Amino acid sequence: MNKTKVAIIGPGNIGTDLMIKIMRLSDTLEMSVMVGIDPNSDGLARAERMGIATCHQGIDGLIAMDEWSDITIVFDATSAKAHHYNWNKIKAFPSKRIIDLTPAAIGPYVVPPVNLKDHLNASNMNMVTCGGQATIPIVAAVNQITNVHYGEIVASIASKSAGPGTRANIDEFTETTAQAIEQVGGATRGKAIIVLNPAEPPLVMRDTVFTLSEQADREAIRASIHKMVAEVQQYVPGYELHQEVQFDDIPEDQPVFIEGLGQCHGLKTTVLLKVKGAGHYLPEYAGNLDIMTSAARRTAEALVKDVTL
């Protein structure tokens, strides 16, 4: 079987982990080129040792390589700012597809178990953020049962798993995730918070999801959440509920104030998650990076197979 050739821009933690996932796990994707801008990059050196062609002149260098003509999908694991430059170069080649792992959000937000089938024809697909990939499926699961007025997520990640790119994009992380909670998760209003946890030894990614919705059958909501968790586990085995789903009533005579919505009442649902990485390249505590690379691989394989998930 002929595999589809791909390139990765950004040889940092995310790019390197994605490279290894593709090489070890994918039966439809083939690594062609790892691209960076630092000739002394550890990621480029690792790619070379694994027999992968490399380029240290960014997207311009990649386009000049002989391998470029055979590459169908480009993963961008750089930064939001760099992605704008990369996309302006790649969009001149209509046959190329780009999967964006930065918070640039030029293309539509894609969370595989929620809306991948709606964007299989998009030329630029955005993977939101690690917090978004972990929590938006839960917001969407509640929204499948009842209207979600407000969705709030708190993503706690090990400080050691947050590299320069993540730290440089904190503002974009919160803005992009909040927008995707609304546009993909279905909440009328969304909010996102990220916490860099300095604990030693490092803790795995923890995510807390709060939704305020109309009253509905709690068992139906619980079942919808469990089903969604199982769908995410198909490509992120370390994704799981940390505790059982919790419900609280917000009575009409004791409403809570939500910015942009005013006084609100209804059913509060709390979901506690943890995400342990697969340990392919990154430590197990780096579940935040693992869920991003796993979602990107899942998306690319769907593009290749042209299947509806």
Q: Strands 4-9, 29-35: parallel, antiparallel or unpaired by DSSP?
A: parallel
pLDDT, tens only, 8-57: 999 998 999 999 999 999 999 999 999 999 999 999 999 999 999 999 99
Domain positions in the chain: 4-127+290-305, 130-283
pLDDT band at 163 (very low <50, low <70, confident <90, very high): confident
b/e for 213-243, b at 16 or more Cβ within 10 A? beebeeeebbebbeebbebbeebbebbeeee
| Partners of 148 in the β-ladder | 213
For 89, counting Cβ atoms within 10 Å of its Cβ (0-12 exposed, 13-18 middle, 19+ buried), the class is middle
Q: Are 180 and 234 in contact (CB under 8 A)?
A: no
CATH code for the structural domain at 4-127+290-305: 3.40.50.720
**Catalytic residue status for 55:** no
pLDDT, tens only, 238-273: 999 999 999 999 999 999 999 999 999 999 999 999
Give the integer Cα–Cα distance in Å for 64 and 122: 25
Task: Tell me the CATH number of domain 130-283, given options 3.40.50.300, 1.10.10.10, 1.20.58.100, 3.30.360.10.
Answer: 3.30.360.10
Q: Is the pLDDT of residue 66 over 60?
A: yes
Quote the pTM value: 0.95
Q: Which residues contact 79 (CB under 8 A, 6 or more apart)?
A: 102, 165, 168, 169
pLDDT, tens only, 115-162: 999 999 999 999 999 999 999 999 999 999 999 999 999 999 999 998
Please state, for a pLDDT cut of 90, what percent of the chain lies above it. 91
Say which of 130, 141, 178, 267 is annotated catalytic. 130
